[in-house]
């Protein structure tokens, strides 16, 4: 695992990779993000050993639509590898896209990993990276990368708190004097909210939607809640009406979905409050004088930030280009 104190002494790796549950990004020295595609693979499954067919953006439109004989695989779940073959295929696809077949031989890389990943989970990531053709790999904790990318003053003797909100995990960390004071992770992110919205439509309205529709619905609702027209806004959703057993469109008020969002953010707010409760009084006082910074794609849902600010009394703000913070942190380490 990569540590703060060794940052200046290490030799710089060739690449950095943010292998996320929903999105994979590759960063090259002095160039920034050179690859950004969904973390998805498609395999041909005709009865024998499944064969890799494609990955990334090409596969995104195929989710929930593949015919028999093809299978979509998600290399990660809740921030960590769940399918080592698919993860190494995804990494191989990303490396080939970036460097072509004649790219660097066994490039060295920094790879982000959740702060609470176990040794076994880190070991699996190392194996997938090796299988994909990477050379020396150093793992870096994601909340640290997010804090770096959000330009927090980590070297100050004042506390900084970052909450990295991804698709599979939400990670809360407090830093001071270039060191981690406390962290807590909840293995739940934006994908869990998509699933909760689909479940709500199914159980309350007997209406079935696929994962991509649920994700679009979440983004529409987040926009609506942010513009405070949720009481009056009507949201239309396309899917299968189970009452009539046919495709259809359902029209609901955006505010009908608010309890689903509130239930989803509850454990996240609780985890952040637990961190605020457990840090030393002086660090807590620092945080009251500055804002908690949210990063990651799921920070866009906004409700988590608002609830946390209400319940903790501490200011909460979104980082600039929040979904790119981990990548920016990786770029800073690469560029030195
Ligand atoms: N405007 C938006 N409103 C709501 N959610 C959004 C928005 N934009 C992105 N998201 C969500 O952000 C998540 C993707 O964020 P990100 O790329 O940070 O995750 P990841 O790095 O792949 O996941 P993890 O770090 O948890 O493994 C998805 O769940 C996506 O639906
Ligand atoms: Mg991430």
Q: What is the pLDDT of residue 296?
A: 98
> What tokens appear for 181 in the block?
């004071």
46 domain residue, yes or no: no
- Tokens at 145, concatenated: 């990368």
**Residue 8 confidence (pLDDT):** 45
Q: Is the CB of 224 under 6 A from ligand 1?
A: no
Judge if 119 and 211 occupy the same domain.
Answer: no
**Ligand 1 centroid, distance to 280 Cα (angstroms):** 31
Residue 71 domain-assigned (yes or no): no
Residues 218 and 293 in one domain: yes
List, run by run, the mean pLDDT of 10-residue segments along the chain (336 residues): 46 93 96 97 94 97 92 97 97 92 81 96 97 96 97 93 98 95 96 98 97 96 84 91 93 95 97 96 92 96 93 95 97 93
- C-beta 37 within 6 A of ligand 1: no
Kindly give the number of the ligand 1 atom that is closest to the alpha carbon of 301: 4
> Does 177 share its domain with 138?
no
| Residue 67 located in a structural domain | no
Exposed / middle / buried, residue 127 (Cβ in 10 Å: 0-12, 13-18, 19+): middle
At residue 122, the pLDDT reads: 97
181 and 315 housed in the same domain: yes
Nearest to 152 by CA among 330, 331, 327, 325: 325
> Does a structural domain hold residue 49?
no
167 and 298 together in one domain: yes
Q: What is the CATH number of the domain that holds 25?
A: 3.30.420.40
| Number of structural domains found in the chain | 2
Domain that holds residue 96: 4-38+77-144+326-335
| Distance from Cα 167 to the centre of ligand 1, integer Å | 5
59 within a domain of the structure (yes/no): no
Same domain for 161 and 134: no
Distance 21 CA to ligand 1 centre (A): 9
CA distance 282 to 124: 39
Task: Judge if 24 and 167 occupy the same domain.
Answer: no
CA–centroid distance, 206 to ligand 1, in Å, is 27
Say yes or no: 160 and 286 in one domain: yes
Give the model's pLDDT for residue 4.
46
User: Same structural domain for residues 135 and 178?
Assistant: no
Ion ligand 2 residues within 5 Å by Cβ? 20, 166
**Ligand index nearest the alpha carbon of residue 322:** 1
User: 81 and 185 share a domain?
Assistant: no
Q: Is the minimum distance from the CB of 79 to ligand 1 under 6 angstroms?
A: yes
Nearest-ligand number for the alpha carbon of 37: 1
Query: 3-state secondary structure string, the chain?
Result: CCCHHHCCCCCCCCEEEEECCCEEEEEECCCEEEEEEECCEEEECCCCCCEEEEECHHHHCCCCCCCCCEEEECCEECCEECCHHHHHHHHHHHHHHHHCCCCCCCCCEEEEECCCCCHHHHHHHHHHHHHCCCCCEEEEEHHHHHHHHCCCCCCCCCCEEEEEECCCCEEEEEEECCEEEEEEEECCCHHHHHHHHHHHHHHHHCEECCHHHHHHHHHHHHHHHHCCCCCCCEEEEEEEECCCCEEEEEEEEHHHHHHHHHHHHHHHHHHHHHHHHHCCHHHHHHHHHCCEEEECHHHHHCHHHHHHHHHHCCCEEECCCHHHHHHHHHHHHHHC
Q: 296 in ligand 1 pocket by Cβ < 6 Å?
A: yes
Instruction: Classify residue 66: in a domain, yes or no.
Output: no
Task: Assess whether 158 and 139 both reside in one domain.
Answer: no
173 within a domain of the structure (yes/no): yes
Q: 166 with 302, same domain? A: yes
| Residue 311 domain-assigned (yes or no) | yes
């Amino acid at each position: 695992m990569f540590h703060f104190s060794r940052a200046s002494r290490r030799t710089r790796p060739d690449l950095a990779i943010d292998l996320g549950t929903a999105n994979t990004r590759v960063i090259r020295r002095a160039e920034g993000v050179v690859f950004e595609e969904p973390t998805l693979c498609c395999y041909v499954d005709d009865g024998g050993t499944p064969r890799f067919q494609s990955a990334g953006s090409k596969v995104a439109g195929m989710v929930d639509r593949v015919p028999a004989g093809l299978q979509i695989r998600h290399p990660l779940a809740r921030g960590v590898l769940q399918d080592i073959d698919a993860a190494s295929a995804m990494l191989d696809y990303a490396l080939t896209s970036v460097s072509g077949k004649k790219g660097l031989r066994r490039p060295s890389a920094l790879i982000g990993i959740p702060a609470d990943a176990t040794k076994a989970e880190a070991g699996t990531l190392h194996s997938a990276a090796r299988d994909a053709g990477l050379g020396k790999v150093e793992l870096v904790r994601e909340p640290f990368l997010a804090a770096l990318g959000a330009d927090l003053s980590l070297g100050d003797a004042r506390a900084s708190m970052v909450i990295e909100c991804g698709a599979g995990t939400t990670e809360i960390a407090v830093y001071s004097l270039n060191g981690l004071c406390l962290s807590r992770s909840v293995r739940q992110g934006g994908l869990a909210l998509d699933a909760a919205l689909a479940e709500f439509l199914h159980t309350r309205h007997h209406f079935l939607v696929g994962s991509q529709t649920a994700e679009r619905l979440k983004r529409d609702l987040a926009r609506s809640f942010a513009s405070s027209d949720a009481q009056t806004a009507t949201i239309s959703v396309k899917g299968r009406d189970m009452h009539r057993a046919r495709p259809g469109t359902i029209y609901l008020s955006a505010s009908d979905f608010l309890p689903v969002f509130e239930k989803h953010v509850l454990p996240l707010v609780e985890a952040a409050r637990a961190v605020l409760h457990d840090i030393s009084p002086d660090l807590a006082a620092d945080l009251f004088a500055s804002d908690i910074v949210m990063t990651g794609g799921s920070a866009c849902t906004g409700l988590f930030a608002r609830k946390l600010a209400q319940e903790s009394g501490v200011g909460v703000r979104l980082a600039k280009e929040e979904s790119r913070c981990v990548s920016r942190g990786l770029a800073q380490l690469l560029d030195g």
